[in-house]
Structure 1
Amino acid sequence: MERKKPAVRPWGTTAALESRVTTPPENGSAPTKHPRITRRRTAIAAAAVVVGGAVALTACGGIGSHTDGKAASSSSPTAAASATTSTPGPTQTPSATSQAGADAAAAKHTSAAKITITPRSGSTGAKVSGAVKVTVSGGTLTSVTMKTKDTGKAVAGKLSADKKTWTPSGSLAHSTEYAVAAAAVDGKGQPAAATASFATAAPTPATFTGYYTPENGSVVGVGMPVSINFDHAIAQKDRAAVQRGVTMTSTSGQQIVGHWFSSKRLDLRPQTYWVPGSHVTMTLNWKGVEGAPGVHGTQHKTVSFDIGRSQVSTVDTATHMMTVVRDGQVIRTIPISAGGPDHTTYDGKMVIEEKDQTTRMNGATVGFTDDDGKGEYDIPDVPHAMRLSNSGTFIHGNYWSDPSVFGNANTSHGCIGLEDLKGGGDPTTDAAWFYDNSLIGDVVQVVNSPDKVIQPSNGLNGWNMTWSQWVAGSAV
């Protein structure tokens, strides 16, 4: 059977309904699951602040203005100062008593509300998200205004239900200076005000990372390409520089050329299958390399892998047989059952990209459903499963079909089935033998299928392109 996902997934992502154990790709290699080899951040609207959802909060007279609306009285510090001349006369000599009276009068008009604006005024390098906050103690906020200093554009914000805290509604802009003015009143109605200005940090340079297969130190089959999947789209103009950042050599001396399947995927391989026993070394040097405007690489590392023996297995859907050839010699001929007339198996060369002792296959995940919406099949324990395409083509063990179909009829939903026992515990079955004798990177070639040749990008199947087609996809 074939389990195809609604959309073609990157070769190493976790498929639905399959148990996966992965590790974070801190080292740049793909997340892995034993035993298979796998791979692996606003517009600011201007709006008035609303108190209790009803009263618009605005500053009176602009940033830093006083908001009580009263003229200074003779008892205020300002009035007391203006009532005296700069040079005291003989009858106007200041005294400790008059100064104390002025201080006491001023204290009567000091608000208990204390406003704090974060970041502190004059600071730079503020974060664009989560750093700005206006709070008040001993009172409630009545107005908060935040604007960009160069354009005067207002920043929308939100006031807490208790009117004690105000924060911006969204993220701020990088490398921008902002001004904040806040007003509050205490329990007696005495006003308080505060202002501050600060600048946000410059943007952190965006980076791209490449997640690759095969893994460092692995042993793979002769058909295994290097496949690099990027977490950021690589711009067309930058692909040559990114590709030049990948250096590959093989002890076989084979020329290795890259092919861009998309802005996020670069595969590399030789013209023909790898020479058995060769050692391949790959160096990724993307430190400072631009992958897109403002996006640069940081990786600089070297990995290597070895090519094992040569094994190419040919599945003939017309004769219902698979011939396994190792190092030029036929080592086993295995009866198979391929895709039936309504669900034929892809033709062409496919590379084993993952191995699972057991996996679940549900027809509903790929549109094979009955009238009740449930899958035409749902087998939770398909044994000895090896993936051949991203869209769901597998070669796997089959314990539910009558043994007579193997070697005689094509009955699956597109996969290649080999005779097996439930649980897969018998090592003598054809499926168990093939699983135990296969490597990631081995080639399975399907011939005589009425279906089309599989797309080269559907899995690690670039061998279905001519060398000229492959080279044409190189950026260097």
Structure 2
Amino acid sequence: MTASKRRGLMAASALLGGVMVLSACTGDGDKGGSAAADASTKSQAQIDEAAAQETSKARIVISPKNGADNAGINNDAKVTVSDGTLTQVTMTTAEGKSVKGEMAADSKSWKPSEQLERATTYKIAATAKDADGREAHENASFATVSKANSFIGNFTPEDGSTVGVGMPVSINFNKAITDKKAVQSGIKVSSSSGQEVVGHWFNSQRLDFRPDQYWTEGSTVTLKLDLDGVEGAKGVFGVQQKTVTFKIGRNQVSTVDVATKTMKVTQDGKTVKTILISAGSPENPTYNGQMVISEKFKETRMNGATVGFTDDDGKGEYDIKDVPHAMRLSTSGTFIHGNYWGPDSIFGSTNTSHGCVGLNDVKGANDPNQPGAWFYDNSIVGDVVIVKNSKDATIKPDNGLNGWNMSWAQWKAGSAV
């Protein structure tokens, strides 16, 4: 090949390469790639839009959150919805037992209609619809507070009862309370009489409430326990939520004079009866002070060994299986009761008991004309019995329901709020 031919071929090749490069960078190529990308993007947007149209706007919230533990048994469990209405809610235990519930009138919320059990796992399944009828679903499982991590308060008097003017509200907790302020703040005691009512802690497990003076006769007292979820001690929560009411009866106060060996019974300030008694002997005197009847027994057994009165063999100094018309005045064993084993002559003349106040009575508790029977029939739990002129000390305020032996200033000083 001649030199001129080679130069011509190289020129042609260069020209052809230039055309190819230019062709690869033309606007036509960009149009083709952009159109394909637009088509792909448009297709994804359409998919997303379609998916959004199928998703419900309803938003369900289940409380407690899934996996929660130590949930309260009264108020914690509930289901709510926004941008929609609830159509179905089911709640069951882990074993499948159904829990009844209440749907709000607007179908915006649901809650159990019964108190839950402690130390139990529950499951909730909820369904809701938005305005366009699209459904939403939520599920959750949680565990309620265990017995080990919760506390309750056993209280007296009972709901619906009628009691005497000296009856305090006494609450005994089954676990020691370290945050007394939090617990007392969750308890309210009020009287229809308008009397100021204050709580007093005797120890970490007992909280009593009373007014300055005895309750007003005929009034109604209300106890509200709002302790669900209240942390009484580290990791220990309350579970109670309830309201209790009781009625105050007539104002009966009986005064035992150990020196004269008589008891004067007054109702609403008027003396209705004077009864001859036999109180504690000089060796075993009766406590002085204001005492409240906390229990009544038509007949009961009294054994000295249970309250420390034993002989050299360790047996009780007395063991009477059928003491008639007995009413408890102290935790330590002080009673006012009928006495059939002593001669009639001791009543009004000699103090012979181991610390109790005895009234003349008969075995079997079946003679309503006996002083012991009369006093029993005319007394109710919460009535006050005052003992005076005994050689013994004044009974301690926490020995029974006897907080009236503290001044009002002393009583209020024991409040945590």
TM-score with structure 2 setting the length: 0.65
Q: What is the distance in 2 between the residues matched to 1:466 and 1:345? A: 22
Q: 1:409 to 1:293 in 2, by over 3 A?
A: same
Give the C-alpha shift of residue 362 in structure 1.
Answer: 1.0
Match of 1:17 in 2: none
CA deviation after TM superposition for structure 1 residue 286, in Å: 0.4
> Which residue of structure 1 lines up, in the alignment, with residue 88 of structure 2?
none
- Which residue of 306, 311, 332 corresponds with 2:273? 332
Of the three residues 218, 221, 231, the one matched with 2:161 is 218
Partner SS for 2:215: coil
8 Å contact from structure 2 (residues 288, 393) kept in 1: yes
Query: Mind listing any 5+ residue stretches in structure 2 that lack a counterpart?
Result: 1-66, 69-142
Structure with bigger RCO (C-alpha 8 Å, 6+ apart) = 1
**2:39 paired residue number:** none
Change (3 A) 1:272 1:202: closer
Give the Cα–Cα distance (whole angstroms) in 1 for the partners of residues 144 and 212 of structure 2: 46
Pairwise CA distance, 1:203: 8.6
Q: Which amino acid aligns with 1:216?
A: D
CA distance in 2, matches of 1:426, 1:216: 32
Q: Which residue of 2 aligns with 1:375?
A: 316
Quote the RMSD (CA, aligned, Å): 1.6
Aligned partner letter, 1:273? Y
| Cα shift at 1:260 | 0.2
CA distance in 1, matches of 2:188, 2:263: 37
Residues 1:438 and 2:379 aligned together: yes
Quick check: 1:343 aligned with 2:245? no
Matched, 1:247 2:247: no
> Quick check: which has more Rg, 1 or 2?
2
Structure-2 separation of matches of 1:340 and 1:414: 7
3-state SS of 2:278 partner: coil
In structure 2, the residue matched to 1:426 is 367
Structure 1 residue 366, shift from structure 2 partner: 2.5
1:35-57 CA deviation, whole Å, 9 max, x = no partner?
Answer: xxxxxxxxxxxxxxxxxxxxxxx
Report the CA distance between 1:287 and its aligned residue. Answer: 1.1
* 1:34-113 alignment, distance < 5 Å: none
Secondary structure at the counterpart of residue 336 of structure 1: strand
Q: 1:455 to 1:202 in 2, by over 3 A?
A: closer
Find out whether 1:232 has 2:175 as its counterpart: yes
Residue matched to 1:31: none
Partner AA of 1:213 in structure 2: T
What amino acid is the match of 1:277? G
8 Å CA contact 2:307–2:332 kept in 1: the answer is no
Q: Decide whether the 8 Å contact of 2:253 with 2:386 is kept in 1.
A: yes
| d(CA) in 2 for partners of 1:397, 1:226 | 28
Question: Identity across aligned pairs (percent)?
Answer: 65
How far off its partner does 1:375 sit? 1.7
Number of residue pairs matched by the alignment = 276
Find the residue that maps to 1:296 and give its secondary structure.
strand
Q: 2:149 pairs with 192, 206, 216, which one?
A: 206
Partner of 2:401: 460
Instruction: Give distance in 1, aligned partners of 2:358 and 2:349.
Output: 12
Higher helix proportion: 2
SS at match of 1:227: strand
SS at structure 2 position matched to 1:247: strand
| Shift in Å, 1:363 | 1.4
Render the CA deviation track for 1:176-225: whole Å, top value 9, x for unaligned: xxxxxxxxxxxxxxxxxxxxxxxxx9994711101100000000000000
- Distance (whole Å) between structure 1 residues aligned to residue 233 and residue 159 of structure 2: 27
> Letter of the aligned partner of 1:219 in structure 2?
T
1:343-422 alignment runs, 5 A limit: 343-422=284-363
Indicate the residue corresponding to 2:132 in structure 1. Answer: none
Task: Identify which of 260, 276, 284 aligns with 2:225.
Answer: 284
CA–CA distance in 1 between the matches of 2:400 and 2:285?
18
Q: 1:369: how far off?
A: 2.3
Query: Which sections of structure 1, spanning at least 5 residues, go unmatched?
Result: 1-123, 126-200
Q: What amino acid sits opposite 1:256 in the alignment?
A: V
- Confirm or deny that 1:303 pairs with 2:244: yes
User: What CA distance in whole angstroms lies between the structure 1 residues aligned with 2:309 and 2:398?
Assistant: 24
Q: Answer yes or no: is the 8 Å Cα contact 2:344–2:360 preserved in 1.
A: yes
Paired with 1:377 and 1:299, the residues of 2 have a C-alpha distance of: 43
